[in-house]
Structure 1
Amino acid sequence: MLRPCSHGAEKYGIDAAEWRSHMCGLCLGLRDGHGQLARAATNTDAILLSVLTEAQLPGPSARTTAGRCPLRGMQRAEVAAADSPGVLLASTASLLLGSAKLRDHVADGDAARLAGRPMTRMSTRWADSARRQAALIDFDVEPLVAAIDAQQLVESRAASNAASAEPPVTLDELTAPTALCAAELFAHTAILANRPENADQLRIAGEHFGRIAHLSDAIADYDDDTAHGRFNPLAATDTTLAESYELVRESDAELRRALAAARLADVPTIRWMLLDPLHALVHRLGKGVGAVKAHVCNTTHDGHPHAHLGDHRPSTPVSETTHGHPRAHRTGHRPPTRRPGIGEALALVLGVYCTGYACCADHTSPCTGERKDAWWKGCDCGSCCDCADCCSGCGDCCSCGDCGCGCDC
């Protein structure tokens, strides 16, 4: 769900290799503690736990030199130490989530018949490894295991509700296990960093992060799940895509408030690796469900303010752009809501970012009229750009929240 952009790292004065440092540290930590095959459990969102832990430490964290790796072009690199508390917590989370995912694939019949038994054994092995690892950092993992087990039960109840007299299962019940797991993992970063005063706020932030993760996955899979008769929490609870998007927005706002209360919202690495990618994710989801239409600048060429998309002033023209190109002025008429196709939704939600075509067109600034090359052409961001639409490098002309560009706002 999260993949920070190297352009944003430059903006914050952070080495863009920092994300890779945490990812490689997690991968090597899984290898050293649980064998080569455990590296397949590397979860890029779990890297955030290592980042959160380091962000609360008073001094720099330990780094170690990793050997050559094909994924780094056979280069050595300075990576987070495999035995650091943040990496141990991140690897615990990766093993737990990997175990649950394997078990889900077997339960859903996605695995080939001959692969089902080995996958089940691997799931059990990873769950046991997570317990051992959690003991090293005094983390009680059993409530998380119980929550993961409860997920299948509540989904079964929701799926059979139509044919039973039981009270309907709510969307909150379906997202609760994910929210609980993320909440406890986030809170434990404060314990590992010896900042217990942050634990409550981080628990709130984690709860909403888990909710966003669950809902964004449900939105991404909606078309495919309903087309193939598979379980989807939105369909099971009669929640529309627009309603689920509003819930994502609410959780994003609550997460930011909690991090601000814990005084982490202004830590550059947290903004770069969590808040900016979340901002871009929310914007992309909004576009996918028809809730967000376009890039809108606050000022016209003569300095007069444009109407915001949310303003109910249909007589005031607003300047819109699509993929970096200006559209004709409109009067605020809203396009019909559409559901994203599965390919589009997966690309938007799961981090398959723009690769230099379609959305990365050159851009005419709505503020000055100046035409610029798409900024990715002149930097090393490559395909990891997290801009929601235009990848335009429109600079500071947009107010945060209007343009949806995590790397410019």
Structure 2
Amino acid sequence: MFGIIRPCKHRLSERLQTSWMAHLCGLCLALRDDHGQLARTATNYDGLIISVLVEAQSARDDASWRRTAGPCPLRGMRTASVAKGEGARLAAAVSLALASVKIRDHVEDRDGVFARRPVAAGARAVTRRWDRQSAGSASTVGFDTAVLLDAASRQGELERSLPLGGSVLLVTEPTESATSAAFAHTAVLAGRPGNAAPLAEAGRLFGRLAHLLDAAEDQAADAESGAWNPLTATGTDRAEAERLCRDAVHGIRLALREVELTDRALVHVLLAHETERAVERVFGPAGHAATCRTHTPSGDHPHDAPPRQDPGQHPNQAPIPPWVPQGPGFGPIGPKPPHPRNLLAGCAVWALMACTCQLLCCEHNDPFSRQRRKGFCERHDCDCDCGNCDCSCCDGCDCDCCDGCDCCDGCDCGCDC
């Protein structure tokens, strides 16, 4: 459950963006309060869906789900209203347990620095501590993290015993079971037992989606490194993997229609729209082959424009790419690029800028390359081309018209969304 949901702030209304950040900061602070500062590294976008679901099902007012947090460098040293309560604590426990599982997998696979014995020993100690802590905090909200740890152990057994050509859905089953249990427990915390079954189904499909997208993204790298990959091991081609992912997104939407929510706006955006965008990030839009940039006529993209020939250039000399500015015989036009700092000087400047929050909160010169950069809290993983729109077409919508539409283009269906 890491990295599937990545909402761009341009696709969220102001109200939804505020709510999203409240849950993100609430998860981070719940990890700190319950498990210590190191546990904050387990903060992830997908885990906070648990907190969102609990609040969206609750009939309590906003004041009971919010508290004012102190200044934080990631918020530009500003205070903020953040999520609190059982939803944030459950999200923290689930995130910590899953982070422990992920670290343990890296240790077993000897990935990167985890191949070094001192690092691996330290990582094992951290995972044992996080297992105990997540189990303790989850028990206070009535959730048993054993279902997550059991799923992780069954995952390894399945991978080792899977016959060649077996179904890829056999491999995704443990992940599906873990996310299904976490999603269903949000209904218990919110006092909505009737929501447990559809939320369990939505969680099961979300787990399948997360596992398949992760496998599809890593397939090429796994092939190079010789690592085990479920798609390669089962002989599942990308077309079939894409079909399963799109079916999962559709199934999540159908399940959400059966869930009784007091405010479904953010849930709808995260689980109906952002899951589809996650599929498009990995596989491209449905039927994208015909419109792929490699198939567009030359000139449709700025970098596809034909190379220009400098008037003073020899006919046999290589043409100048269109994006490289040139003067008449004097090379590129413009100031000389700044000379990068060496490693020692760059580290010293980085430490100074980090301590003064310049790296986080404002535009700055990169401490190594000296290139102009945005602050961390100003960056976003934006894959949309919607500019600075602040639309709210899906803000509270509960209709079919928004299934598949681009929010920032607005829907033109005449519904009340």
1:292 to 280, 288, 291: 288
Aligned-pair CA distance for 1:402: 6.4
Give the conservation status (yes or no) of the 8 Å contact 1:179–1:206.
yes
Matching residue's letter, 1:292: H
Q: Which of 207, 225, 244 in structure 2 is aligned with 1:247?
A: 244
CA apart distance, 1:278:
1.2
- Secondary structure at the residue paired with 2:15? coil
The separation in 1 between residues aligned to 2:263 and 2:248, in whole angstroms, is 19
Give the counterpart of 2:141 among 127, 137, 152. 137
State the shift of 1:382 in Å. Answer: 5.8
User: Aligned pair count?
Assistant: 318
Measure the CA separation in 2 of the matches of 1:31 and 1:287: 37
Alpha carbons of 1:381 and 1:286: their partners in 2 closer, same or farther (altered >3 Å)? farther
CA distance in 2, matches of 1:107, 1:221: 17
Q: 1:178 and 1:273, CA in 2 relative to 1: closer, same or farther beyond 3 A?
A: same
The question of 1:39 aligning with 2:22 is answered no
Report which stretch shifted further, 202-211 or 41-50.
Answer: 41-50
Q: Which residue of 2 aligns with 1:109?
A: 110
Letter in 1 for 2:239: A
Give the letter aligned to residue 94 of structure 2: A
What is the correspondence of 1:92-103 to structure 2 with a 5 Å cutoff?
Answer: 92-103=93-104
Structure 1 length as normaliser, TM-score? 0.71
* Aligned-partner residue type, residue 287 of structure 1: G
Shift of 1:17: 2.3
1:157 matches 2:154: no
Look up the match of 2:87.
86
CA distance in 2, matches of 1:324, 1:381: 26
Q: Which runs of 5+ in 1 are unaligned?
A: 163-167, 297-318, 326-379
Contact persistence 2:5–2:46 (CA under 8 A): yes
- Secondary structure at 1:17 match in 2: helix
| Deviation of the 1:277 alpha carbon | 1.0
Instruction: Tell me the distance in 1 between the aligned counterparts of 2:167 and 2:300.
Output: 37
Cα distance change on mapping 1:135 and 1:382 into 2, 3 Å: closer
1:235-384 superposed matches below 5 A? 235-264=232-261, 267-287=264-284, 291-293=287-289, 383-384=380-381
Structure 1 CA distance, aligned partners of 2:287 and 2:261? 29
Cα separation, partners in 2 of 1:66 and 1:402, compared to 1, 3 Å: closer
Whether the 8 Å CA contact 1:242–1:291 is kept in 2: the answer is no
Match for 1:54: what amino acid? E
The answer as to whether partners of 2:6 and 2:274 remain within 8 angstroms in 1 is: yes
Q: Over aligned residues, Cα RMSD in angstroms?
A: 3.2
Match of 2:28 in 1: 27
Alignment-derived partner of residue 355 in structure 1: none
CA distance in 1, matches of 2:290, 2:132: 48
Unmatched 5+ stretches in structure 2: 304-376, 394-400, 412-417
Distance 1:103 1:323, change over 3 A: farther
Structure-1 separation of matches of 2:300 and 2:290: 6
In our comparison, the structure showing a higher alpha carbon Rg is 2
Deviations 1:306-330 (A, max 9, x none): xxxxxxxxxxxxx9x98799xxxxx
Cα offset for 1:265? 11
> Could you tell me how far apart the structure 1 residues matched to 2:404 and 2:191 are?
38
Structure-2 change in CA distance of 1:116 and 1:18 (3 Å): same
After superposition, what is the alpha-carbon deviation per residue over 1:176-217, rounded to whole angstroms, capped at 9, x for unaligned? Answer: 011111101000000000000000000000000000000000
Q: How far 1:173 sits from its partner (Å)?
A: 1.2
Residue 130 of structure 2: aligned partner: 126
How far apart are 1:29 and its partner, in Å? 0.8
Residues 1:295 and 1:269: Cα distance change in structure 2 (over 3 Å): farther
Q: What code does the residue aligned with 1:188 have?
A: H
User: What one-letter code is carried by the residue in structure 1 that aligns with 2:215?
Assistant: A
Rounded to whole Å, the distance in 1 between the matches of 2:378 and 2:289 is: 25
Shift of the 48–407 alpha-carbon distance from structure 1 to 2, 3 Å rule, reads farther
1:212 and 2:213 correspond: no
Q: Cα offset for 1:259?
A: 0.3
Distance 1:102 1:263 in 2: 36
Identity %: 40
Q: CA deviation at 1:385?
A: 3.1
Change (3 A) 1:123 1:5: same
The secondary structure found in structure 2 opposite 1:16 is: helix
* 1:24 positional shift: 1.0
**1:68 partner SS:** strand
| CA pair 31-292 structure 1, distance change in 2 beyond 3 A | same
Distance 1:292 1:276 in 2: 18
Deviation at residue 8 of structure 1 after TM alignment? 2.9
Distance 1:3 1:32 in 2: 25
Q: Given that residues 14 and 269 in structure 1 are in contact (C-alpha distance below 8 angstroms), is that contact kept between their aligned partners in structure 2?
A: no
* Residue identity opposite 2:272 in structure 1: L
Query: Which residue does 2:7 correspond to in 1?
Result: 4
Aligned to 2:56: 55
Q: 1:263 to 1:7 in 2, by over 3 A?
A: farther
Distance, in Å, in 1 between the alignment partners of 2:250 and 2:262 is: 12
CA contact (8 A) 1:4 1:276 kept: no
Of 52, 64, 69 in structure 2, the residue corresponding to residue 66 of structure 1 is 69
Matched, 1:202 2:199: yes
2: distance between equivalents of 1:185 and 1:18? 21
SS in structure 2 at match of 1:138: coil
Q: Say whether the 8 Å CA contact 2:212–2:241 is kept in structure 1.
A: yes
